[in-house]
Structure 1
Amino acid sequence: MTQLDEETATPAATDVRLGVWGLGAMGEPMAQHLLTARGALAVHARRERPALTDAGAHWAPTARELGAATDAVLVMLPDLPQLEQHLEGPDGLLAGVGDRDFLLLIGSTSSPVGVRELADRLPARIRVVDCPVSGGEDGAKAGRLSIMLGGSPADTDLAAALLAPCGTPVRLGPLGAGEVAKACNQMVVAATILALGEATELAARSDVDPAALWALLGGGYAGSNLLESRREKLVAGDDSPSGVAGYMVKDLRFAADVAAATGTRPALLPALRDAFDEIVERGLGERDIAVTRRFTVERSDTDEAN
C-alpha cells in the first residue's frame, strides 16, 4: 500500500484540465477545494452552483461540454447508473472527449465488479480509477477525506496528485480496490451508528443522560470519529438529512457481493442489511444516519403496542 500526498504532484498533474460531475453534499465542497488549489475547474450537475461559478469555476451545461473542457473528471454521483446514462449519445461525456486520452475518476460508492465491467466496456483511451471517499460532509468541507484509490499505479499516482486538496489519497490495489475498501468502511459505519442509536435510547430509557454518557465514553474504546460527528444529533434526536441513511442499503449490498465473491461468511453483515432495509421500509431512508435512534424508538414502541 502506498500513501500519496501533495508531494507526488507533477507538472503533468498541474497541466491536467480537471472537472467535477455531481455537486451534492460531497461533490460541491470537494469542488471548492479543487478550485481553490488549482485556480480553474469545470463543473457539471443538474443545476448550476453560483458559489462555484462566482468563484471562477467553468459551468458545463451538459456532460458533453464537460468532457470537451477537461482531461480528467471526478464523478461524485450516487452510483454507476447515474453516470452511465450520460456517458454516450450526442450530449454524453464520451462525445465531448472524442479521440483524446481521458481519466475518469469514479468517486461514487459502487460495486467493484460494476466498476471493472464499465472500464472493460469503455474505449481503451478512457482510463478509469475508482476513488470513493470517507469522512462525510464534515470531512468534505474540511478537506480531510480519506480517498480510496484503485487502478494502475500510473493512473492512481495522477489521481492522487489531482485529489490531494480534498484529503488523503491512498492507492489500495488494482481497479475496484477502492470500492472494496469503501464497502469495508461502510460495514464499520453501519455497525457503529446502529450501536450508537440503540445505546443512546437505552440510556435515555434508563434515566441516564445521553449527553453525559457520550462525553464520558467518547474518551474510551467507544469513542470514534462517527460518535464525535453525530453525538449532538443522537442526543437531541435530530436526524435532519446530512449523510442519508437509505444509501447504506446499496453500500451494504456491495459489501455482501464482495463477501460472496471472496468466500467470506460474515455474521454481522446480514443483520446490518436487515436493519437498514427496515429503516427504509419504515420511511426513514431520507433521514440522516443518526435516524438509528428514532428507528430504535419506533421498533420499541411497536413491540410495546403489541
Structure 2
Amino acid sequence: MNQTPLRIAVLGTGMMGLPMARRLCQAGHQVHAWNRTPAKAEPLAADGARVHAQAADAARQADIVISLLENGGVVAQVLFEQGVAQAMAPGALFIDMASIQPSEARDHAARLGERGIAHLDAPVSGGTVGAEAGTLAIMAGGRPADYARAQPVFAALGRATHVGPHGAGQLAKLANQMIVGITIGAVAEALLFAAKGGADMAKVREAITGGFADSRILQLHGQRMVERNFAPRGRMTVQLKDMRNALATAREIGFDAPVTTLFEALYSAGVEHGLGGLDHSGLFVELASRNAMQ
C-alpha cells in the first residue's frame, strides 16, 4: 500500500478501465468509479471503490481523474459538457489514458489549463493482459512536474515513460498502434501464405520463433490465428479507429504514411464485412476470405 493514498476517479471502466481501477484499489488508493453503463462499474465496489451515477460526482471527490473513455469526442463531452472539468478542483490532475488524436489532447490540456487543472495524455499498450498484471507500457505527454506527480498512479499500472509535451503521449501510442496493426497483418498474411502452399501453420509459427521474424505479435496473436480464437481483447473497430487517427495526424503534420494507409483499408474492409466485434487479430479472417480459406 502507498504511504500516501490518493483519491482517484476513474471514468470509463470497460475492458481496460475495470482491471486498471481494480489495481489502483489494490494499491491502497481511494477510487471513485463511473461508467456510462453503470453495471460495468459496479463490480469495483467489491474492491473498495465507490461507484457514482454521474461522472462529475466521481471527479469532485478526486485529486487525480483518469479517463479511459472511447475516443476524443467522448472525452471532450464528459469533460466539458457533463461537468467533470467544472467539478474538478483547481490544482487537480487529469490523466487521459484513452487513445485519442494528439491535437485533441493538446486542446483538452489548454482548456483545462484555463481552469487551473493540470493535464497529461498517457495512453497505454499491453491490452487486458497487461492491465490485469500491472505491466502496461504507458506513454506520457505533458509537463515534467505533472508526470512526476502521477508516478504513484503509474506505478500500480505498469512502466511509464515521459515522451514529451502535451500530445506526445498520443503520438507515441499512434506509433505503437501503427506497428501493432501492420504487424498483425504481416503475421496473418505470412501464416495464410504458408498454409495455402501446404505447410502446417502452427509448425511454421513454431519454426520462425526465435528468429528475426519473431515478435510478441507472432507469439500472442499468431497463436490466436492458429487456434482461430478471435474473442475480443482489442477489437477490430478500435484498431481501425487508431489507424484513422494516425492518418489524420499524418495529414496534419505533412507526413506520407503509405503502409498505414494500406492497412487502414484492410481493417476497414474487415469491419464492413462484419468482423468489427472480433479481436484485431481477426484481420486474419478478412485475409483468409480473400484467399477462399476457412
The reply to whether residue 109 of structure 1 matches residue 99 of structure 2 is yes
What's the RMSD between the two structures over aligned residues? 2.0
Aligned to 2:168: 177
Question: Could you state the TM-score of these two structures normalised by the residue count of structure 1?
Answer: 0.89
The reply to whether residue 294 of structure 1 matches residue 285 of structure 2 is yes
For residue 301 of structure 1, report the CA deviation from its aligned partner. 2.7
Cα distance in 1 for residues equivalent to 2:191 and 2:225? 7
Q: Considering Cα pairs closer than 8 Å and 6+ residues apart, tell me whether 1 or 2 has the greater RCO.
A: 1
The reply to whether residue 19 of structure 1 matches residue 19 of structure 2 is no
Tell me if the contact between 2:231 and 2:279 (Cα under 8 Å) persists in the aligned partners. Answer: yes
Q: Deviations over 1:245-269 (max 9, x none)?
A: 1112221122123323333223312
Cα distance in 2 for residues equivalent to 1:58 and 1:28? 13
Aligned to 2:71: 79
Aligned to 2:60: 68
Question: Could you state the TM-score of these two structures normalised by the residue count of structure 2?
Answer: 0.92
For residue 300 of structure 1, report the CA deviation from its aligned partner. 1.9
Cα distance in 1 for residues equivalent to 2:287 and 2:264? 15
Aligned to 1:100: 90
DSSP-derived class of the 1:146 partner? strand
Aligned residues: 290
DSSP-derived class of the 1:43 partner? strand
Aligned to 2:30: 40
Tell me if the contact between 1:63 and 1:96 (Cα under 8 Å) persists in the aligned partners. Answer: no
DSSP-derived class of the 1:240 partner? coil
Unpaired segments of 5 or more residues in structure 1? 1-8
DSSP-derived class of the 1:81 partner? helix
Aligned to 2:51: 59
Q: Answer with 146-155 or 21-30: which moved more.
A: 21-30
Aligned to 1:285: 276
Q: Deviations over 1:185-229 (max 9, x none)?
A: 011001110111112222222221111111121211111112222
Q: 1:213-228 residue pairs with structure 2 within 5 A?
A: 213-228=204-219
Percent identical:
31
Q: Answer with 182-191 or 225-234: which moved more.
A: 225-234
Q: Give, as a single letter, the amino acid of the residue that structure 1 aligns with 2:226.
A: V
